[in-house]
Structure 1
Amino acid sequence: MRPVLFGNNPSFWYETLRSFGHIAYGGADFGEVLTTAQRIREGDFDSWYDEWLLTADRVADVAREAERGRHPVSARDAWLRASNYYRSAEFFLHGNPADPRIDHVYEASVAAFRSAVALSERPVTPVEIPFENTTLPGYWYEAADDGRGRPHPVVLIHNGFDGTAEECHFFGVPGLVERGYHVLAFDGPGQPGPMHRENLVFRPDWETVVGAAIDFVLTRDDVDPEGLALIGLSMGGQLAPRAAAFEHRLSAVVSVDGVYDIAENFIADIPGATREDKAALLRTENAPEVDVQLERAAADSPVMRWALSHGAWVFGVDTPRQVLAAMLDYHLGDGIAERIKAPTLVCEAQGDLFFTGQPGTLHDHTPGSTLLAFGDELGADAHCHVGAQRLAIARIADWLDETLRPAA
């Protein structure tokens, strides 16, 4: 989708489109997003924070006023929007993880979301998933009654490089619930909950994370153990298939959008004839020419500027070169994709800002997978189909229905 705002800054435009897209499931309102974006100085991270915080606080006040007036539906709706606006406010600040504004708005986002789901018509319960020596935060959504009188299938869903468990709601969790699925939305290491709570950074063996989530789900007696699906969003489009390659209790996996090699698009301009050559240069102790190259790339590209600064935080490294070196561990090569046994849906955004070409590669390497392309004719071609959330979740849910409940 062509930029309507921030025409010279694709990162600012994409993040604005992201909130426009969240209108579909209650995470925004058009006028609130538009007036906020119009106040922001393009490319200015502090301005982005200030204006989204202002809007979030104003909408949170609307929620409190509704609560005082005993209007729970109005309060719920306002809390949902405030949660998303607080999430957006901190988005570009992670170049300095010690910035106190980050924790302030993250905590406000989570608190607003929990205030909202406490008023939900369908039960939504904050949960803690046992994981190694800690827990992972998430939300259990109880399925709508479909009249079958039997355990429901479950969709596990997680975000990617930067999104939250709370944001999964706006990507379409309610659409899954109303179709008769229980849903567990959760954060894993490297994602906002574990990062903010204990600086638990990303790890490539994502099957350990998903395995813990499955163990948690299977403690319930209202779950169909033969109907476990996993959806991974954004970077989750690599993490989820990785998990499915080793965690064979899954009955289906959805990659939104498909990623075969996280690093490939980001290291394209690094010197070297092969991936191994580039990897050696990125991992060497001293490569000043590459460091200068990445400094220039960050200065020239808003996308690289953000990816490298945020990446240092979530991978637990110090320099741009170390960020790219860390990305090298997140791939489905060496026969990993070929180990996936569960039916796999690989989504493709034809105008993807980050992972162009990756869905096709994942599809080619994943036996029996289905490639589902989204174009711009219905405004669905942006990364993760932001701007077309209802269309995207409908197509994904229809595939899940046909895969998990073909006789229904």
Structure 2
Amino acid sequence: MKQLMFENDPQFWFETVRLFSHASYGGADFGEVLAAASQVKPGDYDSWHDAYLAAADRLAEEAKSARPVTERDLLMRASTYYFSAGFFLHGNPGDPRINHSYDRSSESFHRAVELLGPAVEPVEIPYQDTVLRGYFYRAPGEGPKPTLVMHNGFDGSAEELHYFGAPAGVERGYHVLTFDGPGQPSAIRRGLVFRPDWENVVGPVLDFLAGVPGVDQEKIALLGVSLGGMLAPRAAAFESRLAAVVAVDGIYDAASVLTSFLKWDRAEIVRRANAERDDELDAILAAAREASPTMRWACDHGRYVMGAATDREFVAKYLQYTLEDGVAERITCPVLVCDAEEDLFFNGDEDTLPEPKRLYEHLNAPKTLMTFTAAEGADAHCHAGAQRLASGRIYDWLDRTL
């Protein structure tokens, strides 16, 4: 998607488009995002925080005196803007603004869900000695129904999945279960950092669904967004209870976005990243974060969600997020691999295929590659800006598949 704001800062532009996209299902309003974005200075994380916090506070205050439907709508949008306010602050995990913005986001969404009525229920899924938090969306009507389990990726929340297609599923007769896994917002605050063996996260989620009335246990599909486009296929490779898996967008090797600018092969990068000391790699990473707004943000956020002390340690951990060594080939259920024509993160280069196509080529299971284009306004990472188009195509594929 052509960059119209934040010249030389594609990360700020993408996050702005992502916010525009949430308007499709009530998570933002175009004018509100545009007004907030106009107050942001390129590359200035504090100005981003201040602009979106002010927008969220204004809506939350207005909601206090609004009638129920208006209150719900105001709080949905406030929840989005609060979450966005803290989005770029994770380079300093002790920054009190992180918890403040997330807590207000979560509180606003929970109140909005209450106003939606019994069709959406906050849930707690037993996991190890704690719980994973999420939401169960119940489709109307009697009898067992197909169910879509959804999780986000590197930086998104269970609440955001409301705008990535949860209500779209209910409209089409699907129950939908969304959740935050380890490393994702509600879990990271309890010390649960990301783990690559995602089947050990999805397993307890499916155990939970086994006890939910009205779920057709033979028709449970899994959808992962962004980094979830690698995590969900990873889970499907080892979890036989899934009837289908959707990767939005498909990822074969998540670390490719970090290693593509390094001069060594993957084995050497792994060795260097895990070494006790490597001044050369440290210097390259420092230069990359200075040159690239996306690398700066990715390393800051990556240390936060992976439990890493340094950029190099983050790279070492992130190198584990791959479907190499025969993992992709293990998947047996049908797979939908979504592909964005101009993905900011995973579009490959002149020597390598885009990540969705790499994943698609390694699949032995029944598979579909679904490409979204610039002509459709759907070419951005995870099809931000074309959410209704993407949700419709994905659910139609699920209808045909299940």
8 Å CA contact 1:260–1:332 kept in 2: the answer is yes
* CA displacement at 1:19 relative to structure 2: 0.5
Q: Deviations over 1:174-203 (max 9, x none)?
A: 11111001010000000011112x121001
2:235 is aligned to 243
1:136 is aligned to 132
Q: Deviations over 1:250-307 (max 9, x none)?
A: 00100000000011221122232x2111111111111101111111100010000000
- The 1:351/1:122 distance shift into structure 2, 3 A limit, reads farther
Q: Deviations over 1:364-408 (max 9, x none)?
A: 11122110000001110000000000000000000001111xxxx
Whole-Å separation in 2 of the counterparts to 1:24 and 1:342: 30
Whole-Å separation in 1 of the counterparts to 2:212 and 2:13: 42
Counterpart amino acid of 2:379?
Answer: D
Where does 1:4-403 land on structure 2 (aligned, <5 Å)? 4-66=4-66, 71-121=67-117, 123-145=119-141, 149-196=142-189, 198-272=190-264, 274-356=265-347, 357-367=354-364, 368-403=366-401
Q: Deviations over 1:83-116 (max 9, x none)?
A: 0000110000000011000000100000000010
8 Å CA contact 1:241–1:340 kept in 2: the answer is yes
8 Å CA contact 1:163–1:191 kept in 2: the answer is yes
TM-score under structure 2 normalisation?
Answer: 0.97
* CA displacement at 1:144 relative to structure 2: 2.9
Q: Deviations over 1:330-366 (max 9, x none)?
A: 1001110011011000000111011110000100111
Whole-Å separation in 1 of the counterparts to 2:2 and 2:135: 34
Counterpart amino acid of 2:60?
Answer: A
Whole-Å separation in 2 of the counterparts to 1:72 and 1:142: 21
Which range is displaced more, 296-305 or 320-329? 320-329
Task: Determine helix, strand or coil for the equivalent of 2:257.
Answer: coil
Whole-Å separation in 1 of the counterparts to 2:393 and 2:63: 33
Whole-Å separation in 2 of the counterparts to 1:384 and 1:51: 25
Task: Determine helix, strand or coil for the equivalent of 2:150.
Answer: strand
8 Å CA contact 1:258–1:362 kept in 2: the answer is yes
Counterpart amino acid of 1:32?
Answer: E
How many pairs does the alignment contain?
A: 395
8 Å CA contact 1:93–1:99 kept in 2: the answer is yes
Whole-Å separation in 2 of the counterparts to 1:18 and 1:140: 24
What is the root-mean-square deviation of aligned Cα atoms in Å?
Answer: 0.9
* CA displacement at 1:7 relative to structure 2: 2.0
Counterpart amino acid of 2:32?
Answer: E
Task: Determine helix, strand or coil for the equivalent of 1:303.
Answer: helix
Task: Determine helix, strand or coil for the equivalent of 2:82.
Answer: helix
Structure 1: stretches of 5+ with no match in the other structure: none
Q: Deviations over 1:61-103 (max 9, x none)?
A: 121120xxxx211111111000000011000000001100000
- The 1:122/1:23 distance shift into structure 2, 3 A limit, reads farther
* CA displacement at 1:121 relative to structure 2: 4.8
Task: Determine helix, strand or coil for the equivalent of 1:325.
Answer: helix
Task: Determine helix, strand or coil for the equivalent of 2:217.
Answer: strand
Whole-Å separation in 1 of the counterparts to 2:376 and 2:362: 29
Whole-Å separation in 2 of the counterparts to 1:79 and 1:386: 21
8 Å CA contact 1:144–1:179 kept in 2: the answer is no
Task: Determine helix, strand or coil for the equivalent of 2:375.
Answer: coil
Which range is displaced more, 338-347 or 282-291? 282-291
Runs of 4+ in structure 1 over 3 Å off: none
Task: Determine helix, strand or coil for the equivalent of 2:46.
Answer: helix
Task: Determine helix, strand or coil for the equivalent of 1:136.
Answer: strand
Q: Deviations over 1:117-173 (max 9, x none)?
A: 10115611111000111100000111133xxx4201110000000000000001121
8 Å CA contact 1:252–1:343 kept in 2: the answer is yes
* CA displacement at 1:322 relative to structure 2: 1.0
